[in-house]
A and B are shown apart, each in its own frame.
Chain A
Amino acid sequence: MNTTNSIGIVRAQRAQFDTPLVFRSGAVLPRYELVYETYGKLNADKSNAILICHALSGHHHVAGVYADQPKNVGWWDNMVGPGKPIDTDKFFVVGLNNLGGCSGSTGPSSLDPAIGKPYGASFPMITVEDWVESQARLADRLGIKQFAAVIGGSLGGMQALQWSLAYPERVRHVLAIASAPRLTAQNIAFNDVARNAILTDPDFHGGNYYQHNVVPTRGLRLARMLGHITYLSDDAMADKFGRELRSEQLNYGYDVEFQIESYLRYQGDKFAGLFDANTYLLMTKALDYFDPAHDFGGDMNKAFARSKSDYLVVSFTTDWRFSPQRSREIVQTLLHNRRNVSYAEITSTHGHDSFLMEHPHYFDVMRAYLDNVASEVSR
């Protein structure tokens, strides 16, 4: 079996929605666009669709390349494609850019038609629940009544979980990878430091920096650097960088001396050049707000009582941002509610980032599970 097969050339599509979306916060977005990609063929009874929910910095370009950008490979190309664990020969795979994003779907950097200027700070605070609502409308548009599976890692896993709570009849299987039922105080704290880096950047201008023709690059860069540290494990960093220096000797100054500094600054710069600061703020708040138990007096077991889906929960041993313990909380809640659930704890050195990496056991688990999902749906 060739596991290096790519889906090949793909193209982004756009869906316009003119029915106002009422957010959990009470805010209303009168109209919006979602940009998405699809791979594979929807079968006759439309039962073989899989939705991929992206994490903090993801988007709709999940797999393949664009005709005019042959090097722009989708962010989960190792997992999604012909003969891959999420097999596009068997499934119709949908990836979208979430509302509030900065990769083409309506977000803070989009033009607000009401005022002729970017939404900026006026873009509503968004939650995982709101995303699932907008994704359900996209599913309606595509004629998908029920997903064979909704799959996501990290923040994407939260969306996958929420799907089974908001639309129990519309999702047969949930695959929640390196995720959590809700964030801990420590995790919210990391997000708050990241946000503060952006919010206190003099170029932030209360979120309306577009009109000032500046970007809060320093803040976004710091936010990403901090985030990046938490996505790696201590071991992975030690393996990759150790105390390695960039030049031969110590310079006793504040310029880059250690390789890890060089790496983090590079990652920060790269990200700050591509990503929108307002979107970063929104995404981290969505992470913080997510708590299915909130409306159930804090009782997660009650929150999941309405689920009708089957679940695969996957975690990675060195992931401390979304630790195995958090995944096991999901499993415990599902066991309490007598859902079908399998749980794999993958031994990996790459921390939270493991969920994006090719790992034989992780991929075997995904493939075994999804092969069974495929056998439930007609070709």
Chain B
Amino acid sequence: MSKDMNMGQYLVSSAEERPDFAAIAAWIPHGASVLDLGCGDGSLLRYLKETRRVRGYGVEINDVDIVMCIANGVNVIQNDLESGLSDFEDNSFDFVILSQTLQATRHTEALVNEMLRVGREGIVSFPNFGYWKNRVNVLRGHMPVSDELPYQWYDTPNVHLCTLHDFEMFCGRHRVSILDRRVMTGKFEMKLLPNLLGSTAVYRFQRGI
């Protein structure tokens, strides 16, 4: 590593810290092809490679993450998601994943369309803005700051936060058909009142008719 790089940056964020990883992996059959958009340090792809033997590629824009992906032994293409997925051919992946990135995309509608052009199915995970703790924060007069939303209002990359209801309405209006949903708080799945009790949502979807 070059002298000005902190070795600590190269540690893989542990899969246990990301309960959505296991939820995503559960939907992905062995040997599937996977495109992970905004793949960060490549830990999800590495996890899927190790647990599901996927043929995977990540897309990431951040320089440090590119190095970490390579160090993690996963394929990564440096590119800006907002400029589309023109490097990728139609229907070239079984799954296109957008993990904890949807809320930070500017051209969200275009990106979801691109996901379903390139992939047979899409998977997104995002922090549920409808989670009760977030609601309490807002009721108390503040923007929520939590493990899932660790930013202050002035430095957050999250420009398109939504609730479960919002996302499902979005899918209905954009010819996206939802195949499956997992809502979680920490490691626990929330089946009761998910839009209120779940802090993280993971959806699996395909192009609707």
Contacts and interface: CB of A to CB of B under 8 A. Distances in A.
Contacts of A361: 63, 67
Interface string A40-72: 000000000000000000000000000000000
A205 interface: no
Given A344-B66, A365-B70, A360 B5 contact: yes
Interface in A361-379: 361, 363-365, 367-369, 371-372
B71 A331 contact: no
Contact of B75 (A341, A345, A367): A341
B62 to A, nearest CB: 11
Contact of B1 (A332, A335, A338, A367): A367
Majority DSSP secondary structure for residues of A touching B:
helix
Given A331-B87, A372-B73, A344 B78 contact: yes
Contacts of B87: 328, 331-332, 335
A323 interface: no
Contacts of A371: 71
Contacts of B5: 360, 364
B63 A335 contact: no
Of B70, B71, B76, most buried by chain A (CB within 10 Å of CB) is B70
Interface string B91-116: 01000000000000000000000000
A343 interface: yes
B57 A335 contact: yes
Given A341-B75, A344-B66, A368-B67, A335 B92 contact: yes
Interface string B63-97: 10011111101011111000000011100100000
A340 interface: yes
Given A342-B77, A343-B76, A3 B2 contact: yes
Interface in B13-55: 33, 55
B77 A331 contact: yes
Nearest to A347: B63
A368 B68 CA distance: 8
A343 B70 contact: no
B155 interface: no
B172 to A, nearest CB: 32
A3 B3 contact: yes
Interface string A312-327: 1000000000000000
Contacts of B147: none
A1 interface: yes
A74 B30 CA distance: 47
Contacts of A306: none
Contacts of B3: 1, 3
A73 to B, nearest CB: 20
B124 to A, nearest CB: 22
B180 interface: no
Contact of B55 (A3, A336, A338): A338
Contact of B70 (A3, A332, A345, A372): A372
Interface of A: 1, 3, 312, 328, 331-332, 335-336, 338, 340-345, 347, 360-361, 363-365, 367-369, 371-372
Q: Which 4 A-B pairs have the closest CB atoms?
A: A368-B70, A360-B2, A368-B71, A364-B67
